[in-house]
């Protein structure tokens, strides 16, 4: 934490910088230098590894030209220190990368955040691939002081001989970056498919998770996020806890370099297979004004097939496919097959999007899956994954009047064999004097549970609207106690 009167601390940092320069100047096998306009490297002589510093947008090139780098032989390796030079102006944010020869050395002791990070300064240090480190520091909106001042120690780590034995850090499953909030509705004479751009960690919505995504977090630090797809802060609230805070830095590290370049729209008349491409949309074609969420709409013409199933698949710049979204039709949704190991368990979450009216109770939602799967006793939990059944989270946090949930005991969750290799699980949540706000605010996790695979079949999931004898399934009661089918306003996701 910074204090306005931190003169002694600032003087200490300048003294530390001077000591480092004086100390390393007397050692034959060390290197200390500032970076000039024509030289952004350090080391590379007397057996020292060469480092290259590069400014990362939005920081200008001049920032790295005013950083000081010290490389000192120590402990069988090299200690690297990067400090703000005396000519570096005070900065509200600083972004830069460090490249080193990964074929001959590798990093140890890399911190998760710069040394200047604190209560009102947030930061992140990542190494997305061996030999390349990215560092970002941002002062939050609450801070009256800069994030970086001349003399500040920024980053310290060690390089040791030999190439890295690890591969580049793995980008989190692209299932997290699936197209979300799919809607299929008729607009005049045409059917329209819409979906929400979702790439956890991509707070600035530029298509790729990177160090620059710290900036929106700092600018909106501690602001509350509404339970609405239309709230532009929703993309900054990476951990979806309803507040912009330090926890939203974690998804940036988890999903670093996760990229969405385009979406491919696909259609299948059967719904479970034989999808074919009918359209494509680029993320850059959907640029929005700052502070707005990125959404897509695809208007069908003569290619629309009634009662067919539609889905959206992500593509990166290498045109590699991500995991498809759930499939949607005029009457429902289904999840594409998910591979689950034999005897393995999978978390399933049901969520609502753009409910057709206010919701008082979730009634008898029926989920259908292969009969080799069984419900894991005691795993059902209302709202978002994690926590306890008594926690009011997910969609239930948006209720107007605080009260409670009447969550049924576990023995209420029984499976029904439907024949033809299918099994169904019925789920419900009853509220006490609570009504969720009407659309478009009504979105969020409804309930989650686990399924165990006792066979070898992949997991498929879909909803059943009613049984053959006409009994209603997958519906809710509105604020007037009128029954409404969820239709395609209810969705499914697995292992997310």
pLDDT tens-place string over residues 279-335 = 999 888 776 665 677 888 999 988 899 889 999 999 888 888 888 888 888 877 888
Q: How many residues does the chain have?
A: 496
When pLDDT is averaged across residues 420-442 and rounded to a whole number, the result is 78
**Cα separation of 310 and 354, whole Å?**
18
Q: Quick one: pLDDT band at residue 211, thresholds 50, 70, 90?
A: very high
Contact 363, 341 (CB under 8 A): no
Contacts of 338 (CB under 8 A, 6+ apart): 346, 458, 459, 460, 461, 494, 495
Q: Quick one: pLDDT band at residue 176, thresholds 50, 70, 90?
A: low
Q: How confident is the model at residue 360, as a pLDDT? A: 85
Contact 321, 312 (CB under 8 A): no
Tell which residue, 199, 184, 319, has the closest CA to residue 262: 319
The CATH number of 334-496 is: 2.60.40
**Cα separation of 81 and 32, whole Å?**
9
When pLDDT is averaged across residues 6-23 and rounded to a whole number, the result is 37
Q: Quick one: pLDDT band at residue 18, thresholds 50, 70, 90?
A: very low
Which of 29-38, 116-125, 131-140, 267-276 has the weakest average pLDDT? 29-38
**Cα separation of 208 and 347, whole Å?**
27
CA dihedral 428, 433, 439, 442 (to 10 degrees): -50
Percent of the chain scored above 90 by pLDDT?
A: 42
Q: How confident is the model at residue 230, as a pLDDT? A: 66
pLDDT, one tens digit per residue, over 227-241 is 566 677 888 888 777
Q: How confident is the model at residue 402, as a pLDDT? A: 54
pLDDT, one tens digit per residue, over 40-79 is 666 666 788 999 999 998 899 988 999 999 999 988 899 9
pLDDT, one tens digit per residue, over 392-401 is 788 887 665 5
405: which strand partners? 431
DSSP-derived secondary structure letter, 7: H
**Cα separation of 174 and 202, whole Å?**
13
**Cα separation of 132 and 143, whole Å?**
30
Q: How confident is the model at residue 227, as a pLDDT? A: 58
**Cα separation of 356 and 202, whole Å?**
30
When pLDDT is averaged across residues 474-487 and rounded to a whole number, the result is 88
User: Does the pLDDT at position 96 exceed 60?
Assistant: yes
Edge-to-edge order in the sheet of strand 93-99: 41-42, 51-55, 93-99, 132-139, 121-129
User: Does the pLDDT at position 353 exceed 50?
Assistant: yes
Distance of CA 434 to the CA centre of its chain: 30
User: Does the pLDDT at position 12 exceed 70?
Assistant: no
Bigger pLDDT: 436 vs 300: 300
Same fold yes or no, 7-161 and 334-496? yes
Q: How confident is the model at residue 138, as a pLDDT? A: 96
How does DSSP assign 129-168, residue by residue?
ETTEEEEEEEE-TT-SS-SB-TT-EEEEEEEEES--SS-S
**Cα separation of 491 and 496, whole Å?**
13
User: Does the pLDDT at position 30 exceed 90?
Assistant: no
When pLDDT is averaged across residues 26-33 and rounded to a whole number, the result is 40
* Structure tokens, 487: 């239709």
Q: How confident is the model at residue 444, as a pLDDT? A: 81
**Domain spans of the chain, in order of start:** 7-161, 334-496
When pLDDT is averaged across residues 407-426 and rounded to a whole number, the result is 90
Is 424 in a helix, a strand, or coil? Answer: strand
Backbone φ and ψ of 282, nearest 5°: -90, 145
Edge-to-edge order in the sheet of strand 190-196: 180-187, 190-196, 295-299
**Cα separation of 53 and 46, whole Å?**
20
Paired sense of beta strands 327-328 and 30-34, if any = unpaired
Residue listed under structure tokens 């300048």: 14
Q: Quick one: pLDDT band at residue 440, thresholds 50, 70, 90?
A: very low
Q: How confident is the model at residue 384, as a pLDDT? A: 85
* Structure tokens, 413: 């969750």
**Cα separation of 230 and 60, whole Å?**
33
User: Does the pLDDT at position 32 exceed 80?
Assistant: no
pLDDT, one tens digit per residue, over 366-391 is 999 999 999 999 999 998 888 788 77
**Cα separation of 318 and 322, whole Å?**
11
**Cα separation of 456 and 193, whole Å?**
34
Looking at domain 7-161, its CATH architecture is Sandwich (2.60)
């Amino acid at each position: 934490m910074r204090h306005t009167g931190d003169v002694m601390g600032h003087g200490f940092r300048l003294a530390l910088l001077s000591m480092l320069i004086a100390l390393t100047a007397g050692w034959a096998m060390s290197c200390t230098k500032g970076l000039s306009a024509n030289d952004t490297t350090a080391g590379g002589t007397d057996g020292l590894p060469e480092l290259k510093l590069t400014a990362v947008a939005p920081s200008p090139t001049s920032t790295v030209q005013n950083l000081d780098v010290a490389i000192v032989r120590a402990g069988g390796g090299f200690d690297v220190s990067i400090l703000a030079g005396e000519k570096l102006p005070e900065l509200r944010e600083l972004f830069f990368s460090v490249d080193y020869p990964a074929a001959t050395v590798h990093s140890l002791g890399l911190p998760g955040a710069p040394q200047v990070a604190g209560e009102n300064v947030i930061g992140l240090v990542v190494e997305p691939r061996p030999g390349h480190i990215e560092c970002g520091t941002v002062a939050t909106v609450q801070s009256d002081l800069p994030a970086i001042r001349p003399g500040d120690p920024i980053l310290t780590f060690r390089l040791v001989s030999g190439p890295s034995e690890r591969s580049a850090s793995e980008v989190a499953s692209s299932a997290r970056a699936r197209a979300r909030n799919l809607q299929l509705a008729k607009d005049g004479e045409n059917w329209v498919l819409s979906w929400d751009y979702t790439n956890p960690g991509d707070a600035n919505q530029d298509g790729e998770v990177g160090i620059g995504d710290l900036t929106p977090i700092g600018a909106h630090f501690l602001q509350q996020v509404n339970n609405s797809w239309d709230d532009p802060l929703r993309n900054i609230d990476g951990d979806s806890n309803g507040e912009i805070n330090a926890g939203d830095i974690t998804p940036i590290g988890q999903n670093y370099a996760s990229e969405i370049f385009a979406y491919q729209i696909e259609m299948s008349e059967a719904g479970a297979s034989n999808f074919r491409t009918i359209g494509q949309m680029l993320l850059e074609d959907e640029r929005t004004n700052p502070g707005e969420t990125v959404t897509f709409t695809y208007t069908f013409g003569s290619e629309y097939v009634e009662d067919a199933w539609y889905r959206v698949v992500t593509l990166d710049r290498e045109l590699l496919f991500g995991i498809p979204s759930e499939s949607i039709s005029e009457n429902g949704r289904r999840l594409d097959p998910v591979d689950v190991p034999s005897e393995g368990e999978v978390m399933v979450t049901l969520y609502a999007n753009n409910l057709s009216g206010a919701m008082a109770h979730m009634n008898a939602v029926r989920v259908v899956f292969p009969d080799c799967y069984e419900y894991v006793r005691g795993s059902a939990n209302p709202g978002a994954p994690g926590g306890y059944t008594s926690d009011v989270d997910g969609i239930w946090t948006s209720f107007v009047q605080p009260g409670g949930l009447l969550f049924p005991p576990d023995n209420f969750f029984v499976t029904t064999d439907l024949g033809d290799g299918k099994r169904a699980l019925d789920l419900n949540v009853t509220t006490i004097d609570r009504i969720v706000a009407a659309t478009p605010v009504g979105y969020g996790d409804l309930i989650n549970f686990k399924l165990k695979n006792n066979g070898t079949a992949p997991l498929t999931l879909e909803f059943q609207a009613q049984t053959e004898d006409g009994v209603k399934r997958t519906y809710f009661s509105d604020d007037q106690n009128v029954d409404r089918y969820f239709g395609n306003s209810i969705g499914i996701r697995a292992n997310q």
